[in-house]
């Protein structure tokens, strides 16, 4: 007869439960099984008959167990009482379920507990210390009433909680009790457990906890604090919960992970995980030296899963994730830069930028004739096509796809009033978009074109209108360093300084200063051109005040050739 006894709560997959029970008894541990009263009687009696040939397996009085209800506590109480009564040698009682699976040989657990004869293993923390409560209810679990089911009558449940909150209704917590919560799966000593079960005040405690929400996570956790001489506030059962409070399930492919965890018992095991049952229920070699349970890896795996479910991968749009756009959120996966007017002002801006920053520099991605990818190809990463019709059918998807497909590599592209404009508000909203604008630079290609002046006038009027709309859209976006706007006149005053700023924004730090500048287009006569436009009644105000003689300060011929700085 052994010093470890097991209480097993079972409601489904009875054949697995029998297998586990026999595994416990094979090492001499008596097992008292509680079968949910919702299980049909004939199924129950077949199960009981199947187990009848094992004298160490007993069955306790059956209760109806609902999630979050009192039944589970009542079941644990009856079974534990029976176990303590029938098997007087038992010193530790281990609460488990039919979906629990012992991962290490039972004798190891017996030895582990024998070395710690006075220790109660029960996760038990005050309400202030737990972070995993569902529905934001922690202390209120103990002070409100919960007549409605959280799973089946959620609206009524929430409504009734709100009503009680607003009326300030509070239940009184019985004197001497300090609410504690923790995992439902514990391992208690006979002394502590019998003290709880034989407490003269048990009836009043039971009546109180009957109306507490999810009492199986607080009844023993709270009462143990009254009697235990030595609590280790952790569970010997490895059990992880997702963000909705449902237990994570283990499958065959978790075999190695479970093996290396050195935990004694894990739940919940998928009943058809044949390989797991096979591996852990057959004789296995004991660990060479007794190890402490170390579920770190499994913790991380499930923490990641919860993170994926609640936050997901930023900037990803797919069949399982389609977030609503919220202001100030990232709409794409990775920061990228948009340049407006730079390619017009500098002849070799794109190769220069690629060279200086080692980013991937595209041309005008939203060119009306088709996207100008850096590679100059018809398709780019992910099979994204340069076809204008496909792109303009859903430009937001086009851009977020491009950024997602190239995540990890900084993307830069040119934009301007010549391009299709549907993407504009997306750019303004996306916090990953780093936008630099030289307003009025659209005048440069017109200045250098061979068009009739009437056409130039009409075109510049239209381009200015488009750009001014863009700037309005950008102005409504969040302020911050991610949007920089210069007028053309302002920019040519000190281009190197501003280029430096732009390059620094990309985040690729330069050892010192920019060593090489891109070649600016020849601006000779541009001032005159501006004046002509004005005289014709088209006021190019976005260009800024451009001197008629093209002379800024004393530097007269600076901009006609590339130059080295500092």
Nearer to other proteins, 125 or 397 (CB): 397
Task: Tell me: does residue 563 bind other proteins (CB under 8 A).
Answer: no
Task: Tell me: does residue 38 bind other proteins (CB under 8 A).
Answer: no
Task: Tell me: does residue 117 bind other proteins (CB under 8 A).
Answer: no
Task: Tell me: does residue 311 bind other proteins (CB under 8 A).
Answer: yes
Nearer to other proteins, 85 or 393 (CB): 393
d(CA 253, CA 262): 17
d(CA 477, CA 464): 20
Angle between helices 14-26 and 41-51 (to 10 degrees): 20
* Contacts to other proteins from residues 187-226, by CB under 8 A: none
Helix, strand, or coil here: 76? helix
Taking a C-beta distance cutoff of 8 angstroms, is the pair 527, 444 a contact? no
Tokens of 51: 């187990």
Helices (H) and strands (E) counted in the chain, each on its own, are 22, 19
Give the number of other CB atoms < 10 A from CB of residue 20.
28
Task: Tell me: does residue 404 bind other proteins (CB under 8 A).
Answer: yes
When binding is defined by CB under 8 A, the residue of 53, 310, 476, 509 that contacts other proteins is: 310
Task: Tell me: does residue 393 bind other proteins (CB under 8 A).
Answer: yes
Tokens of 362: 């595209």
Report CA-CA distances (Å) from 441 to 346, 521, 530, 558.
Answer: 10, 11, 12, 18
d(CA 566, CA 349): 20
* Contacts to other proteins from residues 146-185, by CB under 8 A: 151
Nearer to other proteins, 322 or 535 (CB): 322
Task: Tell me: does residue 385 bind other proteins (CB under 8 A).
Answer: yes
Taking a C-beta distance cutoff of 8 angstroms, is the pair 127, 223 a contact? no
Tokens of 231: 């609590």
When binding is defined by CB under 8 A, the residue of 155, 172, 324, 561 that contacts other proteins is: 324
* Contacts to other proteins from residues 278-307, by CB under 8 A: 301-302, 304-306
Tokens of 219: 């009844």
Nearer to other proteins, 136 or 383 (CB): 383
Task: Tell me: does residue 66 bind other proteins (CB under 8 A).
Answer: no
CB neighbour list of residue 304: distance below 8 Å, 6 or more residues apart: none
Helix, strand, or coil here: 188? strand
d(CA 412, CA 359): 7
Task: Tell me: does residue 251 bind other proteins (CB under 8 A).
Answer: yes
Q: Cβ 168 to other proteins, closest distance in Å? A: 32
Task: Tell me: does residue 389 bind other proteins (CB under 8 A).
Answer: yes
Give the number of other CB atoms < 10 A from CB of residue 514.
19
Contacting range for other proteins; rule: CB under 8 A; set: 33-41, 224-232, 334-342, 373-381: 373-381
Nearer to other proteins, 38 or 230 (CB): 38
Nearer to other proteins, 321 or 462 (CB): 321
When binding is defined by CB under 8 A, the residue of 128, 167, 318, 454 that contacts other proteins is: 318
Of 245, 202, 222, 64, the C-alpha closest to 142 is 222
Task: Tell me: does residue 524 bind other proteins (CB under 8 A).
Answer: no
Task: Tell me: does residue 323 bind other proteins (CB under 8 A).
Answer: yes
Task: Tell me: does residue 321 bind other proteins (CB under 8 A).
Answer: yes
Nearer to other proteins, 55 or 322 (CB): 322
Residues that bind other proteins (CB under 8 A): 151, 242-244, 246, 248-249, 251-253, 270, 272, 301-302, 304-306, 308-313, 316-324, 377, 379-385, 387, 389-390, 393-394, 397-398, 401, 404-405
């Amino acid at each position: 007869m052994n010093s470890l006894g097991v209480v097993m709560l079972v409601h489904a997959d009875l054949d697995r439960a029998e297998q586990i029970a026999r595994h416990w008894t094979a090492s001499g541990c008596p097992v008292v099984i509680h079968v949910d009263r919702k299980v049909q009687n004939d199924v129950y009696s077949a199960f009981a008959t199947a187990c009848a040939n094992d004298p160490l397996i007993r069955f306790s009085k059956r209760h109806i167990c609902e999630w979050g209800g009192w039944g589970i506590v009542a079941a644990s109480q009856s079974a534990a009482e029976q176990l303590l009564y029938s098997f007087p040698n038992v010193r530790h009682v281990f609460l488990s379920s039919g979906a629990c699976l012992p991962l290490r040989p039972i004798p190891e657990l017996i030895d582990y507990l024998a070395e710690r004869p006075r220790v109660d293993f029960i996760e038990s923390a005050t309400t202030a210390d737990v972070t995993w409560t569902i529905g934001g209810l922690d202390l209120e679990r103990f002070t409100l009433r919960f007549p409605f089911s959280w799973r089946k009558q959620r609206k009524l449940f929430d409504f009734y909680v709100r009503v009680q909150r607003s009326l300030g209704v509070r239940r009184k917590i019985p004197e001497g009790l300090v609410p504690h919560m923790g995992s439902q799966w514990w391992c208690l000593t006979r002394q502590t457990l019998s003290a709880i079960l034989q407490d003269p005040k048990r009836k009043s405690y039971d009546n109180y906890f009957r109306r507490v929400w999810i009492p199986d996570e607080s009844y023993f956790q709270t009462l143990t604090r009254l009697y235990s001489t030595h609590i280790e506030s952790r569970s010997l059962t490895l059990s992880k919960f997702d963000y909705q409070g449902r237990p994570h399930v283990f499958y065959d492919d978790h075999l190695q992970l479970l093996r290396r965890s050195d935990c004694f018992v894990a739940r919940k095991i998928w009943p058809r995980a044949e390989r797991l049952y096979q591996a852990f229920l057959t004789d296995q070699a004991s660990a060479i030296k007794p190890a402490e349970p170390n579920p770190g890896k499994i913790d991380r795996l499930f923490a990641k899963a919860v993170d994926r479910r609640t936050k997901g991968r930023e900037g990803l749009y797919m069949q399982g994730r389609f977030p609503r756009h919220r202001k100030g959120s990232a709409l794409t996966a990775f920061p990228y830069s948009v340049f407006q007017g730079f390619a017009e002002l500098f002849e070799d801006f794109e190769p220069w930028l690629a060279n200086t920053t080692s980013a991937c520099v595209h041309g005008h991605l939203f060119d009306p004739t088709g996207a100008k990818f850096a590679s100059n190809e018809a398709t780019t990463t992910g099979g994204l096509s340069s076809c204008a019709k496909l792109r303009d059918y859903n430009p937001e998807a086009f851009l977020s796809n491009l950024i997602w497909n190239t995540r990890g590599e900084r993307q830069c592209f040119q934009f301007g009033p010549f391009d299709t404009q549907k993407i504009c508000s997306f750019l303004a909203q996306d916090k990953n978009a780093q936008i630099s604008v030289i307003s009025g630079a659209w005048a440069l290609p017109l200045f250098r074109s061979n068009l009739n002046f009437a056409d130039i006038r009409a075109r510049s009027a239209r381009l200015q209108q488009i750009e001014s709309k863009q700037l309005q859209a950008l102005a409504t976006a969040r302020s911050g360093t991610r949007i920089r706007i210069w007028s053309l006149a302002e920019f040519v005053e000190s281009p190197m300084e501003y280029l430096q700023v732009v390059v620094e924004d990309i985040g690729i730090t330069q050892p010192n200063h920019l060593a090489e500048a891109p070649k600016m287009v020849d601006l000779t006569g541009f001032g005159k051109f501006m004046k002509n436009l004005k005289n014709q009644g088209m006021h190019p105000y976005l260009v800024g005040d451009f001197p008629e003689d093209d002379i800024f300060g004393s530097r007269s011929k600076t901009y006609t050739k590339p130059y080295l700085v500092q």
